[in-house]
Chain A
Amino acid sequence: MQEQSPPVLAAIDIGSNTIHIVVAHCRPDTLDIIEDQVELVRIGESVTATGAISTEKRDAALAVLRQYRTLAEQHSARKIFTVATEAIRKASNSHEFLEDIKRETGLEVRLISGNAEATLTFYGATYEESKQAGTPARVAVMDLGGGSTELVTARNMHITWRTSLPIGSGWLHDRYLLENPPTPDDLAVAHTFLRTYLQGIRIKPQPPMLIVTGGSANSLLLLARQAFRLDPSSKHLTYDDLMRCEGLMSALPAEEISQRYQQPIGRARILPAGALIIREVMSRLNLDEISVSPHGIREGVLLAYARYGESWLERVNEEASTSIFPPGANYEKATMLDGGEAFVQAGQRMLRERVEKLLDWRDEVLRNEDIEAIHRMRVATRRLRATLDAFESCCDPGQFKRVYRRIKKMADLLGSARDIDVMVQGLRAQIEQIPDAEIAGLRWLIQRLDTYRQQRQQALADFFSRLDERDLKKQVESCIREGD
């Protein structure tokens, strides 16, 4: 008997930059895509400017949605799912906009939460990779958008952690890379900013594989394939590929990139920023390669329906709010970098990030294999103290003093070892350069310092093996009182 053909379904995603449709034959674990189209409407532009969806943007969106409905019907799609995300959620007139869509096109739009969006994007971006042999148990998915970047980690295809970074390719371009092509100085400043910012994001354990989705990542893959003659079937980009893309894009204006490599001009302008963000996230995760996925939330919607039927969105929401993001678990929300985040909230977030960053070095210091670990942990204590100093006005005075003393004690201990390491390094470097008659004195001093350094290592081992990490974290986090 011939196998019954899986149903044809359509999913439309109304996002801040684009409206995107996918029509596919759908099974619970795979999709056979028939149509995949995207239109750049930039609804988010008017929401950012005025807080509302303008009439012009509304009309443009309605025209695209009418066209998509016709397209889905031409393929005899049994159902058309339409979802809307961040920009529509934020718009002051979102209710009227959704009513207009229903009246004018017959499409019923589901406004989905950030957690549901992350879950559906994860389904879409990973369904192909999850079937590949050799896909590791731990993976990360990065959805690089214009205004933000979603980062999700998963174990055995179940989300374990998620963060939303308020940095996107459009944002970075507008803030740092306005020259066309971007200048080396601007790129260096943007790079320093990203490196500094991403250092504060804790991702533990670090995944061995990163799947990147979103318009910029896919455009970079196309550009690299054409410009550097990469295997056209490969979905991988290496760190070096991205460096070469950046080199090309800093040598040629966006107009020429657009013309030579068939990129929309708007996309070509923000691609250097996209490449830089991906590269910095790779550095942060110690990865040399990424896998680029052309799929995202739309494919996730189709898979969710094929898996769960009519109650697909309820199941996704349930999964997102209970097993995936349990209360108080690893969901982190990085907040606005434009100054919109209240100072006290920034303090709560930054103190938590700093203490975790500090404790990341504990095991390496105890292993005593690399003297740089002590230096880095000492620097982390200084940054935590600088953060405490900055947020002292939000802190409970007694708690602040107790935490400060505790961190200072740790810093002093690390400093007493580090200072000796620096002295000994300096003395050893001189042995080759001084007259023979002076070497005996140098060796005597190095020996005395080595003896003292060993005592310091023992003191460090005693201190850090007794350190109660949970207690320290709790103490630091409770510096800023709840409700402030």
Chain B
Amino acid sequence: MAKARPITGLDVHAPTGRIARIIAGIRLDELYYWSRYTDDSYHVLELHNLRIAAKRLRYTLEIFAGVLPGACLSIVKELEMIQEELGALHDRDVMIALLRLCLDSRGSDIVSNHALPDKSEQIVLPLELVADVVNPAVAPVAAERYGLEQLLLRYQRDREEQYNTFQQHWHRLQARDFRQEILDILDAR
């Protein structure tokens, strides 16, 4: 996860409203930095960073709600939606990575024959969980493996749909110049 860009050199004795606008502007830049990856569905980490950047901008607007224009709340709603869409995508990526791990370690054909491009190595699963699911003592029997394989195929299809939903939403926002919209609201007094 990308760290928030440190913001230094601020006049800490200036009114909060003025500084809040500067911070929100920087968080907006971070969001747009990661947005360059929105057209590749398998930039898993970059899309995750985009989600975190959306979350940071949203929290900034919420934290400073009292000193920013009321119209920022409509931006917060859009950011929540982006966050939810990308969150659902990330959750699917984690589940796909976990299922591949469960099946890969038992030599499933599904993983090698039907899987989508493998970007799952970008997902870091918790070590103890990995150790548990690959433990031969609890290995799934044939019927269980079949269920896991079908689940993996279904999740891969769902992921494509989830990505399309997000991408269409993002394109709609760009068509109305979302970035400028936010800047205009922040500039309003």
Contacts and interface: CB of A to CB of B under 8 A. Distances in A.
Contacts of A439: 147
Given A338-B17, A343-B11, A176 B151 contact: no
Interface string A321-362: 000000000000000011111111011001000000000000
The bracket for how many chain B residues form the interface is: 35 or more
A338 B16 CA distance: 9
Nearest to B91: A422
Given A342-B15, A383-B63, A441 B132 contact: no
B9 A386 contact: no
B65 A448 contact: no
B7 A441 contact: no
B18 to A, nearest CB: 7
B32 interface: no
A189 B185 CA distance: 15
Interface string B9-52: 11111111111100100000000000000000000000000000
B122 interface: no
Interface in A171-219: 175-176, 189-190, 192-193, 196-197
Interface residues of A, number: 51
Interface stretch (A38-46, A126-134, A228-236, A388-396): A388-396
Contacts of A342: 12-16
Contact of B65 (A197, A343, A387, A442): A197
B132 A451 contact: yes
A370 interface: no
B102 A445 contact: yes
B151 A441 contact: yes
Given A346-B16, A440-B147, A176 B70 contact: yes
Interface stretch (B111-119, B137-145, B160-168, B176-184): B137-145
A158 interface: no
Given A189-B70, A393-B7, A438 B150 contact: yes
B156 interface: no
Nearest to A436: B147
A79 interface: no
Interface string B124-139: 0010110011000010
A452 B4 contact: no
Nearest to A423: B95
Contacts of B15: 339-343
A423 B11 contact: no
Contact of B91 (A341, A392, A423, A451): A423
A455 B127 CA distance: 12
A49 interface: no
A448 B133 contact: yes
Contacts of B169: none
Given A437-B143, A455-B128, A390 B151 contact: no
Contacts of B138: 448
Given A423-B91, A452-B132, A444 B144 contact: yes
Nearest to A416: B126
B144 A343 contact: no
Given A189-B71, A393-B6, A393-B10, 10 more contacts: A189-B74, A192-B76, A337-B67, A338-B67, A343-B12, A392-B6, A423-B95, A440-B147, A441-B143, A442-B151
27 contacts: A193-B73, A197-B65, A338-B67, A341-B15, A342-B15, A343-B10, A343-B14, A382-B55, A390-B64, A393-B7, A393-B9, A394-B10, A426-B91, A437-B150, A440-B146, A440-B147, A441-B145, A441-B147, A443-B144, A443-B147, A444-B147, A445-B148, A448-B129, A451-B132, A452-B126, A452-B128, A452-B129
